[in-house]
Chain A
Amino acid sequence: MKKEKLIQYIYGIADNALMLGQRLSELCGHGPNLETDIACTNIALDLLGQTRSYYQYAAQLTGENVTEDDIAFLRTERQYKNVLLVEQPNNHFGYVITRQFLYDVFHLLLLQELQNSADLTLSAIAKKAIKEVSYHQRFSSDWIKRLGNGTEVSRQKVQEAVNDLWKFTDELFQLTEDDKSVIELGAGVDVSLLKEKYYQIVNDVLEEATLSVPELKWFRKGGKDGIHSEHMGYLLSDLQYMQRTYPNMKW
């Protein structure tokens, strides 16, 4: 059914925003200084705001009194369609920035296409989000350059994160069956076409940051099919704690 495909397609975008927003919000109050703490929280707020717009739309499509919170909190792990990259833990600030940067570049390219979607709601959400995500990309790219060109320690730490997280980048461009159906309807974005531009932008920033681009033959994937990393269960047990412990209540 077309509607079900569209709903799954929306999850594929929105779940990324939710998980990345959740990871960033874990940092609130623990940042390296107040200014950075505030900036990371801003990004988290943008992402969670976008999540709500997508889920409200998905809830409306689903009908049957489903709410944004049912979608956010009451699915099983296998039903979340986010990529593996965004669920990776905060390890240290180098990971936080690298994860953000590797996602932001993709996210902006995706939204620039999604704003042309034949689905007017998705197009409207994308147009609004582009402004936010352009800022995210500028923030994370600047930090990549700052850490890469900063001190020897910072260069090593950010390079470590780049080396570790690189294996999750290829999944961003993988097309699922639901994606294909929604693309056929003119509502979805063919992410496989974004790959070349993505690596070009990412590599340019890494070069400016004097960081080396990892050469990998094997990439990790699975998130888009709901097969996540071991980190995901813990992330969800935090995220879903209240809704699971006290079902069917209003907050």
Chain B
Amino acid sequence: MSEKEIKNLEEIFEQRIARDEKIEPKDWMPEKYRKTHIRQISQHAHSEIVGMLPEGNWISRAPSLRRKVALLAKVQDEAGHGLYLYSACETLGISREELYEQLHTGKAKYSSIFNYPTLTWADIGAIGWLVDGAAIINQVPLCSTSYGPYARAMIRVCKEESFHQRQGYEIMMTLANGTPDQKEMAQDALNRWWWPSLMMLGPTDAESVHTEQSMKWKLKRKTNDELRQQFIDQTVPQADLIGLTIPDSDLKWNEETKHYDFGEIDWDEFWQVVKGHGPCNKERLSARVNAWKEGEWVRDAAMAYADKQQENKIKKAI
């Protein structure tokens, strides 16, 4: 294709995006659009799968049968999200094996929040309330993103996430209204998860390298700082309602801006965790790599069996 032809296609493409038309897998798209989407969707899929681990850590120890079943179902939902997102990503011409390879070798990233440990039962509440809460704020705008398969996957994901968030908040509420031990457990979890949850919404706008292009493609509709402010404004009253204290002495309502002002985020910590030095980076990745390696003989058997069945069918047909 000549340069002129490509330029022409790019123009048509940009116009489609501007008209809010969905881009579908078979449509022409610029190589950069394809690559950016593979990066973001796969990062999202990996986050779902790695995100199963910190919560999975408490399934066998959940404090009641009701909570055990709810947590198990929740972690299963994350697996389901991973599945649709990998499928959406595969429509861009990359295989599941390649995507796993990128995760296992550390080439692809996943949300850094999952490199923090779940130390008490209250962490399960805090993850649902804060981490899923922040995820929803990040993800709701994606339901109307330009790439069709991603937008459709996100509609389903968001519905389930908002259920998870309510469930997490309900765990925190039960603890906060419980015995002094339970309340202390809830406060401790909030103390540990609050700042990492704020970091989850991404680096500040000044530091964010992908924001401009992503806004143009409607892969992002608000900046990281706007989303973070929205999360804080939404979450502070929820903490107040159940009598828990946000661990930020600078936090206060600003009558002029109609938003909460908040303290400084420790971005050094954020970058350390992103670079692999968080409390559980190594454990999370090894757990994924081990599951994949240990499952190899099972996947091989399933393939071999399917091939044999196919051969038998052909033989019978002949």
Chain A residues with a Cβ under 8 A of chain B: 22, 25-26, 28-38, 41-42, 44-45, 48-49, 51-52, 55, 68-69, 72-73, 92-93, 145-147, 149-151, 153-154, 157, 238-239, 241-243, 246, 249-251
Contact = CB atoms under 8 A, between A and B. Distances in A.
Contact of A28 (B72, B294, B304): B72
Contact of B301 (A30, A38, A73, A147): A147
Contacts of A239: 60-61
Contact of B181 (A93, A150, A151, A246): A246
Contacts of A150: 300-305
8 contacts: A25-B68, A26-B59, A28-B75, A32-B294, A48-B72, A52-B66, A151-B301, A242-B63
Contacts of A243: 63-64
B179 interface: yes
Nearest to A30: B291
Contacts of A238: 60-61
A29 B75 contact: yes
Most chain-B Cβ atoms within 10 A of its Cβ — which of A29, A93, A239? Answer: A29
Contacts of B59: 25-26, 28
Contact of B295 (A28, A32, A68, A146): A32
Contact of A37 (B79, B178, B182, B301): B79
B179 A34 contact: no
Contact of A151 (B53, B76, B171, B300): B300
Contacts of B80: 38
B282 interface: no
Contacts of B86: 34
A251 B63 contact: yes
Nearest to B177: A250
Contacts of A149: 304-305, 308
A55 B301 CA distance: 39
Contacts of B82: 34
B297 A249 contact: no
B52 A28 contact: yes
Contacts of B290: 30
Interface in B52-70: 52-53, 56, 59-69
A41 B82 CA distance: 15
Contacts of A250: 174, 178
B63 A44 contact: no
A35 B61 CA distance: 24
A25 B304 CA distance: 28
B298 interface: yes
Given A41-B79, A151-B297, A157-B297, A29 B304 contact: no
Most chain-B Cβ atoms within 10 A of its Cβ — which of A72, A146, A149? Answer: A146
Contacts of B303: 150
A245 to B, nearest CB: 9
Nearest to B120: A242
A147 B305 CA distance: 8
B287 interface: yes
Contacts of A69: 64-65
A73 B67 CA distance: 13
A30 B287 CA distance: 7
Contact of A25 (B72, B182, B308): B72
Interface string B274-311: 00000000000001001100111111111111001000
Given A42-B76, A151-B300, A29 B62 contact: no
Given A149-B308, A242-B63, A246-B63, A45 B300 contact: no
Contacts of B299: 32-33
B83 interface: yes
